[in-house]
Structure 1
Amino acid sequence: MAAVNPYRGEVALTLDGREYVLRLTLGALAELEETLAEDSLISLIQRFETNGFSARDLMALLLAGLRGGGHDLSAETLAHATIEGGPMAATRAAAELLARSFVGPK
């Protein structure tokens, strides 16, 4: 099991039986803004807080978190991965990732 440090904004997600640590670094956030065509971090966060996100948005957030965590997975690899816990686990991980990046652990 990978060591997750919530104080660094890290979240775990298991893909194809392997646990990955996700983290939103500044570079990962910039990539996410560009991918989702958002002008600011605030509008990006609001998109997720208001449940105005799509599956494509969720994948972009998880992919940015994976890259920020040091994993070089492609979008295609993520799209075809089996996520332990299914789409709900992916959504929870994404929500935690945003919360830990901007609010910190609870």
Structure 2
Amino acid sequence: MTNRWRGEVALTIDGKLHQMRLTLGALAELEEDLDASTLLELVERFESGRFSARDILALLHAGLRGGGYQTDPDALAQAHIEGGPVAASRAAAELLARAFAVPQ
């Protein structure tokens, strides 16, 4: 079960459901991996629609690690993501949004 207040986002990869979430360490790695000077810059990429497939894969990979699933970035790039690129980009954007959401 996905706990959105924990920042979790569900995604089915190669037929298996995974719970992803971004940890602080994963966010720091994303800044470096995606050449973003700040987290705000990364968020703005998604909000403005200026994100790349590389951005999506990096976010999903970080979210999977944060959710406890270890995978190789190259293996993730070759995996079947249920819903295709649209579902992958939505999940990546949701990961970012939930990482900074304040429970109400």
> Do they superpose with TM above 0.5?
yes
Tell me the residue number matched to 1:77.
75
Q: Give distance in 2, aligned partners of 1:13 and 1:104.
A: 22
Look up the match of 1:96.
94
Q: How many percent of aligned residue pairs carry the same amino acid? A: 62
Which amino acid in the other structure matches residue 59 of structure 1?
Answer: L
Structure 1's unaligned 5+ residue stretches are none
TM-score w.r.t. the length of structure 2 is 0.94
Residue 21 (structure 1) aligns with:
19
* Shift, 1:105, TM fit: 6.8
d(CA) in 2 for partners of 1:81 and 1:105?
Answer: 33
**How has the CA–CA distance of structure 1 residues 14 and 90 changed in structure 2, closer, same or farther, with 3 Å as cutoff?**
same
Whole-Å separation in 2 of the counterparts to 1:97 and 1:5: 12
Deviation at 1:94, TM superposition (A): 1.0
Structure 2 counterpart SS, 1:12: strand
Which stretch of structure 1 is more off in the superposition, 95-104 or 44-53?
A: 95-104
Let me know the Cα RMSD of the aligned residues. 1.4
Alpha-carbon distance in 1 for matches of 2:102, 2:52: 24
The normalised TM-score by structure 1 is: 0.92
Provide the C-alpha distance between the structure 1 equivalents of 2:42 and 2:94, rounded to a whole number of angstroms: 15
Task: Name the counterpart of 1:68.
Answer: 66
Aligned length: 104
The separation in 1 between residues aligned to 2:36 and 2:24, in whole angstroms, is 15
Runs of 4+ residues deviating >4 angstroms:
none
1:99 offset after TM fit, Å?
A: 1.2
Residue type at the aligned position of 1:27: G
Q: Does 1:47 align with 2:45?
A: yes
Q: Deviations over 1:10-61 (max 9, x none)?
A: 0000000001111000011011111001111111111111111110111011
